[in-house]
Structures are given as C-alpha cells and as structure tokens.
Structure 1
Amino acid sequence: MPNIVEPKLISGNANLPLAQAIARRMTMYRGMNVGLVDARIERFNDQEIFVEVYENVRGEDMFIIQSTSRPANDNLMELLIITDALRRSSAARITAVIPYFGYARQDRRTKARTPISAKLVANMMVEAGIERILTLDLHATQIQGFFDIPVDNLYASPIFAIDAKTQFQDRLDQVMVVSPDVGGVARARELAKRINAPLSIVDKRREKPGEVAEMTVIGDVKDKICLIVDDMCDTAGTLCKAAEVLMDNGASEVHAYITHGVMSGPAVDRVTNSVMKSLVITDSIQPTEAVQSAPNIRILPTAPIFAQSILNIWSGTSVSSLFETDTLAPIYEGIL
C-alpha cells in the first residue's frame, strides 16, 4: 500500500457525468466519500483555457478524468493544462484516465507527407507531466508503444459479453458475432470466444475515404442473430450498410456493440432508420440528447470498470484482472 492516503479525482469538461459516476462508484467501493477535486476550468474571450485548483494536492495521487472527444483539440488542451497545474502544485503522481483517446485513428502514415498524430499527442502528454495512462479500447493497440510510460488499455468486450448473455440468454445458440472489416477481426473474435459464438466477417472495399464501394459477407449468417462488434461509430454509414448486407444474406436480426459512440453528423438518424434492432454503445463519450432519446440506442456504463481500475492502480494491484468476464460480473451485478 502506498504512503498516499487516498486517490484524488479531478475532471475536465469532456464528460463530467462519467467523472461523477466514477466518483460515486469509488465511494461505494471504499465505503467513504470520494469526490471530485474542486477546481475551475474556464475560457478567456479568445478561447484560451485557464485552470485553477482550489484544493491542496501536494503529495497526492491524482487521476484526471478526461476524454479527448469532440471538440478534440479543446479537450486535449484541457487535459494538458490540468496536468501542468497539478505538476506545478507538487502532485506525487498524475494518471490520465482517458475513456476515449482522440487522434487514435492517426496511428500510422497512410500515404506520403502525412503525420502520425497519435504519436505527437503521446509526446505532448508525457512532456506535460502525465506518468500513467488508463484508457478503453484503443483504436490500435500499438499506440501503447508510443508512450514511454505505463499504459493500461481496458477492454469493453467483457462488458459486452455480460450484456449479450443477458439480452440473448435464451437464444445464444443463434448468435453470430460479426466483424465489420478484416482489421477488426481480433476484437470481434474476443467477444465471440466470451459468449461461445461463431464468427463472421464483412469484407469492405473503399474507393475513397468515407465511402464504401462494396461489401461481402464471409460466413453463413442465414437465420442468425448477428452482433456487429467495433471500437467506434462515427457517421454510422459503414455500420448501417453492413447491417443491410447481413439482412440481405438472411440474418434474422442485426445488433451492434460499439465501444465509442462518436456519432457525428447524420449518425443518429441513420441508426434510427436502419435495419438494426439495437446499437449498444458505452458512455466513454458523453452522449448527446439525440443519442439518449434514440429508440434503438442503448448506453452501457463504464464507471464501474474505471472506478475499480483506478483503485487497483492506486493500491498497486492488477488491472489486467479486469479483462476477465468473471471478475467484472460482480462489479456489474444489478447494472446490466
């Protein structure tokens, strides 16, 4: 057990409801009040970000809860400036809890004269004074190697497995997990193994970014309940088209389990009007009112897994134990 008495949480503006939910769960686990550190984060007239921490954080184990979601640049700068404020206030250790890691899609050079922005963001975080990262379902797991500090990458698949077993408990023998592209096979296979279901793949070919030219289903989905698994849903164009292709190939129902609901532009309308019976996302990104009111979108909480992970990091115990469905089941009992 470290010398530090209690972990302390501070939140940016990206997803305050999630930060408050994490604090409530930690209060429940600890049996004592765990609140968010009192601070103000405001913008000057020219949109410069200013942070002031009202509580003493000297020698404390600090956890900054901040997704770098839309607006990505503003939320990223909030994270960096909060880190600088804590470092200059003599915090003992600073851990960034980033439920959704923005810029993760720019993890490699796709053509000449393009950046690797995920590496740049990693450098900025380390230089600012962050000493550990806790995140959920990185778009590309190799991003962990961009950091010279520990990175704990949690997985949503155990949460999805618990939910799927609850939702389809009487029909699990009819379920088939589907990867929406070849690159996501490992992620889909992980859920398929957890619920003992077969795996299928939708092979897509793009003529240019944002447009899918052709989709082909690899595997027999006839009369199957198809669960499309992916790490993020942005405009939902590919997702909705994949659902249509699966139905055209004889699937009885199509559902989707997506970790990060970016839900840009026409995404909500597309999902609402699609053949999908349900889209399940997590609250790693604060859902808009449109997302919350959509009849076929469900939101799973991530506060339980993040709260337990923070406590494990603080106490020096295993975070990887939370990768197992059996470990998470008691934490999510009564929630899913």
Structure 2
Amino acid sequence: MIITGSASQTLAASLASETEHELASVAFERFPDGEQKVQIEDTVDHAIVVASTLSDSSHVELLQLQDAAREAGATEVTTVIPYMGYARQDKSFQTGDPVSARAMARALSTGTDRVLTVNPHERAVCDFFDVPATPVDAASHLATPLDSLTDPLFLAPDHGAVDLAQTVRDAYGSGEADHFEKTRHSGTDVDIEPSDAAVSGRDVVLVDDIVATGATMSESVAVLNKRGANRVTVTCVHPLLAGTAQLQLFQAGVEAIYATDTIERTVSAVSAAPAIAQKL
C-alpha cells in the first residue's frame, strides 16, 4: 500500500497507478502549539511511503509516516524520497560544520527497511543510510515533452553533470551533449560559456538535476541568446524554483521549463513514477 506525504500526493497517486498498489488514506493535522500529526486510516502490510523532504517540517512528517505505518501493521516499510532535502550538504565545508545529509539519512533509516531516492545531488548520499538505499534516475523522462527540436544541443551546467545531459539526449534520440565551463575571476565575476559546441541557430536544452533560485541558469540562458541560440528550454529533475526563479528564467528568454513531479510545481510536465516503479 502506498502512503503519501503531504507534498507528494500527485506522485504517490501516479506511482499507485503505475504499480497497481492501493493508495492509503492519510490524515494530516497540526496542533495549536505547532506540532504536526499524521494518521494512516487503513490496515497496512507492506508500506511504501512516498514523501519529498522539502522542509524541516516534511522531514518530521516522513518520520511520523514511517512510524504510523508500523502502527498500522506494516511488517515492511520502503521509503521513497523523490526529493531529499539537505542532500547538497553532503560534506563538512569547514571545521565544525555538520554533514547534514548524513544526519538526515541516519534519522530516516530508523523507520524503514529500504530507501529509494530520485537523482540525489551526489549518488554517494545513499551511503549515509543505515539501510539499503538505491538512487533512481528519472532524467530520461525529461525528453518526453521535447518536440521537433532543430539541431538540438543538450547542455549541462558543468562537466560533473554532463551525464544528465547525455541521458536526456539519448532519450530524445538525436543531438549533441556538452557542458558549460565556468571561469571565476572573483567572488562575483564569473564567465559562463558552452565548452565546445556551437550554439548559433540551434535549439538548446539546458539539463540540470535541481533548479533552485534560477540565477545561474538565467546567466547561462543570456549567454546562449547572445551567441545566437534559436530556442532555449530548461529541464530539471527537481524544480525547487524558489522565489522568482521562474520569472527570472522567462525574462532571460527561456521558451519553456519542464520538470518531473519529485517536487510538485506547475512545470512538472512528466512523472518520476515509472522510474521509481522499476526499482520497487
């Protein structure tokens, strides 16, 4: 039975349809003092808890859902984390800093037998869990809404993410994959330009795992437009899109933004459910 967190209801429903599992009834409540409570209103055998952890509150909610699943009778709990918050804090950046991804992973391990997480920022995050944890790659599904691209070029934000661009390119079926080079001259002066491929007259698809503020992506779009790109589309697995991120991207000249439903936004054009279903 699939049990959804409050931030993952659409994805959970899609996963239920994809796997033919039942979708549990879940109630969410908040007490006057701010504490939250969840209740699973069904008897559960094998629980598949689906919950993105977008906030501190959603981390607490996921811990409660895992515990509630056990109270509802689950003898096995699989936790699906479509978007794992704190995953980018995967190392101690200076003395005294926490490795927050490790702390969160250890906490979530206490209530589950197994974890699946979609396109973690670093796959090594899965090693922080005390139970078996498997990354799920949903990037190929970002090619689904792309249509009739002219001499397409798929660009990653840096060399480390070029595999994402290649995945989307391969799923689309044609085009080149490349990445941006960033040259930092000072704390605020950074040059961004495509590594090798020419962009003039071509449809360019920017591919990233996460778009947060949209600032760097907007700079990249501006560079592409100056170099004569035909159309620029932004794709990402996790559309955080904080604040005015979408506005910035459209002002920069982006034609469309496509993302998955690991974070449920208006731009969530495709579902990560088929990719998750393959790993369950």
What's the TM-score once normalised by structure 2's chain length? 0.90
The match for 1:121 is 104
State percent identity of aligned pairs.
27
Asked if 1:247 is matched to 2:232, the reply is: no
Aligned to 2:51: 66
Q: Of residues 158, 166, 175 in structure 2, which corresponds to 1:189?
A: 166
2:213 is the counterpart of 1:235: yes
Question: Is the helix fraction higher in 1 or 2?
Answer: 1
Q: Unaligned regions of 5+ residues in structure 1, if any?
A: 1-7, 28-33, 314-336
Relative to 1, partners in 2 of residues 1:77 and 1:298: Cα closer, same or farther, differing over 3 Å?
closer
Partner of 2:28: 41
Q: Does 1:130 align with 2:119?
A: no
Report the counterpart of residue 24 of structure 1 in structure 2.
17
**Which residue matches 1:198?**
176
CA-CA distance at 1:193 after TM superposition: 4.0
Separation in structure 1 between the aligned mates of residue 87 and residue 106 of structure 2, nearest angstrom: 13
Which residue, 126, 131, 146 being the options, matches 1:149?
131
What amino acid is aligned across from residue 204 of structure 1 in structure 2?
A: K
Distance 1:107 1:229 in 2: 22
2:270 to 300, 306, 324: 300
- Identify the match of residue 64 of structure 2 among 81, 85, 89: 81
- Tell me the secondary structure at the aligned position of residue 279 of structure 1: strand
Determine if contact 2:137/2:275 at 8 Å carries over to the other structure.
no
Root-mean-square deviation (CA, aligned residues, Å) is 2.1
Aligned residue pairs, count: 277
Post-superposition Cα deviations, 1:186-241, rounded to whole Å, max 9, x if no partner, equal: 32233334434222221225655xx6632132112222211111001111111111
Matched to 2:253, the amino acid is: V
Q: Measured at CA, do residues 21 and 157 of structure 1 come closer, stay the same or move farther in structure 2, by a change above 3 Å?
A: closer
| Equivalences for residues 277-316 of structure 1 within 5 A | 277-287=255-265, 292=266, 297=267, 299-306=269-276, 308-309=277-278, 313=280
Counterpart code for 1:198: E
For residues 272 and 193 of structure 2, what CA distance do their matches in structure 1 show? 33
Unaligned runs of 5+ in 2: none
SS at match of 1:10: strand
Instruction: Name the CA distance, whole Å, in 2 between partners of 1:41 and 1:277.
Output: 38
**Aligned-pair CA distance for 1:284:** 1.1
Q: Do the aligned residues in 2 keep the contact of 1:179 with 1:228 (CA within 8 Å)?
A: yes
Q: Which amino acid aligns with 2:164?
A: R
Alignment match, 2:142:
160
Taking the aligned partners of 1:38 and 1:199, their CA distance within structure 2 comes to 44
* Alpha-carbon distance, 1:149 to partner: 2.0
Inter-partner Cα distance in structure 1 for 2:168 and 2:240: 21
Given that 2:138 and 2:275 are in contact with CA atoms closer than 8 Å, whether structure 1 keeps it comes out as: no
